[in-house]
Amino acid sequence: MTRVVTRIPPSPTGRLHIGTARTALFNYLFARHENGTVVFRSEDTDRARSKKEFEDEILEGLAWLGLSWDAFSRQSERAARYRELIEGLVRKGRAYISEEPSREDPEKTVELVRLRNPGARITFIDLVRGGITFDTAELGDFVIARSLDDPVYHFAVVADDMDAGVTHVIRGEDHISNTPRQILIQEALGAPRPAYAHLPLILDKKRAKLSKRSPSGVPQIADLRAEGFMPEALVNYLALLGWNPGDAREDFSLAELVEAFTLGGVQKSGAVWDRTKLLSVNQRWMRTLPPDEFIERGGLGALGFAPEPLAKAVPLLQERARTFAEAHALAGGELLCLFEAPAPDAAALRAKEAPGLPRADAALAQFLASVERLPDGSSADAARAALMPLAEAAEAEGKGGRGAVLWPLRYALSGQERSPDPFTLVSLIGPAEAARRLKKAIGILGG
Ligand code: GLU
């Protein structure tokens, strides 16, 4: 059997969006699963719209996702080869030069190269969709080059696939209608026909093709990267956009995907882009990281907090953050009290005082006495066991008493309306720092 060769042929006319990344991933997975090779090709024939910066972004994004390839080419560097092939077709009578009035300026004539189309019905087997038949008569003798030196896109694709020995063309469903033209060109060139697999469209929430007009637009890989998605999570999620392993598994590393991937698992129906699901996949991946790696990969060191409290905060960040951007926001916001002593406000400390319950300063004094007895390194459970009885006693006094006395405790420790519970805070900042904060609050209350 011939070795599998797939291709990743993006057009550098735009940024690397999730559609291009998914197609690239499937080509990579299939080739690696089959012990084959992948060729990368920059389809930069549209000189006006192709840009080096887009090519760079695409290459960088795919490499960041962990994809690799075995050969690299650019259509703009293959002009001589295309000309040679077009001249060969003209010589053999499979194509001809047609002098026609220019479309732009009917006063002028142009020399187009047209394929002599036998006009047969063509059937190809799509590995995802089954047999697809086209009547090619209606295509007529279509143009394959605007001059001997200016092949149209379809011609360049076929020539490149032929020269690279591509065995499998795996691409978006929007290319199905290009396939008959490309097969006719292949047949004229005497090139072997590769197998085709057209991937289902990626849809937005409204089940329309994901596009610039979709509510979320088309997500770009570099933007998702900047937002703090992990490449492992994106690869995992993108693989499941149109493919499933045939069992209930949802967590896959790239290596596991290579192992599990088959074209048989690709679905025909469109796959909906679901950011909420991506967030949960990302959170699962973030939770696999040990603290030091979490801090490093999340760039959390840049926040300038001391390493030890930062490392201690990681489990909380892993519980709450779904992206590294969210982790930054939490560390600098709701969890800031883990790194910096707060400046609580007297009125807020008293906010939940009620008749028949201990006043905030009295409650804090009681908590302080218990906190001072807690050994260093006490867990949240130990802190709860020491402090909760005081709150329970207040509860016995009246409805809501527990919450009323726990409030100044949590607020004195955090300085914030929203924060982790006070026992977790005591365990993370340590009893000594907790005691300092409680004394400070008591002082603020005039005690
Ligand atoms: N350059 C095309 C694209 O980016 C891919 C064409 C193909 O796979 O044949 O959509």
Query: Ligand 1 atom closest to Cα of 174?
Result: 10
Mean pLDDT of the 8-15 span: 97
Residue 161 CB less than 6 A away from ligand 1 = no
Q: pLDDT tier at 1 (50, 70, 90 boundaries)? A: low
For ligand 1, atom 6, the nearest C-alpha belongs to 9
Mean pLDDT of the 259-284 span: 98
Q: What is the pLDDT of residues 373-403, one digit of tens each?
A: 999 999 999 999 999 999 999 888 776 889 9
For ligand 1, atom 4, the nearest C-alpha belongs to 10
Q: Which of 57, 152, 157, 166, when mutated, tests ligand 1's pocket best, judged by the most ligand atoms within 8 Å of its CB?
A: 157
Mean pLDDT of the 342-349 span: 96
Nearest Cα to 371, choosing from 379, 383, 380? 383
How many whole angstroms separate alpha carbon 417 and alpha carbon 323? 23
Burial 284-294 (b: 16+ CB within 10 A, else e): bbbeebebeeb
Residue 10 CB less than 6 A away from ligand 1 = yes
Reply yes or no on whether the pLDDT at 204 is more than 90: yes
Residue 43 CB less than 6 A away from ligand 1 = yes
Q: Which of 27, 124, 171, 182, when mutated, tests ligand 1's pocket best, judged by the most ligand atoms within 8 Å of its CB?
A: 171
Q: pLDDT tier at 316 (50, 70, 90 boundaries)? A: very high
Reply yes or no on whether the pLDDT at 291 is more than 70: yes
| Enzyme catalytic residues | 212
Output the pLDDT for position 111.
95
Fold category of 221-286 in CATH: Glutamyl-tRNA Synthetase; domain 2 (1.10.1160)
Mean pLDDT of the 413-437 span: 96
Structural tokens at position 23: 């197609």
Q: What is the pLDDT of residues 210-222, one digit of tens each?
A: 999 998 899 999 9
For ligand 1, atom 10, the nearest C-alpha belongs to 10
Q: What is the pLDDT of residues 148-191, one digit of tens each?
A: 999 999 999 999 999 999 999 999 999 999 999 999 999 999 99
The neighbouring-strand residues paired with 8 are 40
Residue 440 CB less than 6 A away from ligand 1 = no
Distance 74 CA to ligand 1 centre (A): 13
Output the pLDDT for position 391.
93
Range scoring the smallest mean pLDDT among 87-91, 103-107, 153-157, 379-383: 103-107
Query: Ligand 1 atom closest to Cα of 171?
Result: 8
Output the pLDDT for position 220.
98
Question: Do 197 and 169 contact (CB within 8 A), yes or no?
Answer: yes
Distance 173 CA to ligand 1 centre (A): 11
Mean pLDDT of the 87-91 span: 98
Q: Which of 175, 193, 211, when mutated, tests ligand 1's pocket best, judged by the most ligand atoms within 8 Å of its CB?
A: 175
Nearest Cα to 22, choosing from 213, 161, 164, 173? 173
Distance 23 CA to ligand 1 centre (A): 9
Nearest Cα to 11, choosing from 202, 175, 195? 175
Output the pLDDT for position 447.
64
Reply yes or no on whether the pLDDT at 258 is more than 70: yes
Reply yes or no on whether the pLDDT at 7 is more than 90: yes
How many whole angstroms separate alpha carbon 194 and alpha carbon 39? 14
Long-range contacts: 225-229, Cβ < 8 Å, 24+? 225/61, 225/64, 226/325, 227/323, 227/324, 227/325, 228/298, 228/323, 228/324, 228/325, 228/326, 228/327, 228/328, 229/278, 229/282, 229/323, 229/324
Q: What is the pTM of this model?
A: 0.93
For ligand 1, atom 2, the nearest C-alpha belongs to 10
Residue 9 CB less than 6 A away from ligand 1 = yes
Residue 157 CB less than 6 A away from ligand 1 = yes
For ligand 1, atom 3, the nearest C-alpha belongs to 10
Q: What is the pLDDT of residues 226-245, one digit of tens each?
A: 999 999 999 999 999 999 99
CATH entry, 346-444, from 1.20.1090.10, 1.10.579.10, 1.10.10.350, 3.30.420.10:
1.10.10.350
Distance 25 CA to ligand 1 centre (A): 14
Q: pLDDT tier at 2 (50, 70, 90 boundaries)? A: confident
How many whole angstroms separate alpha carbon 29 and alpha carbon 34? 8
Between 394 and 21, name the one with better pLDDT: 21
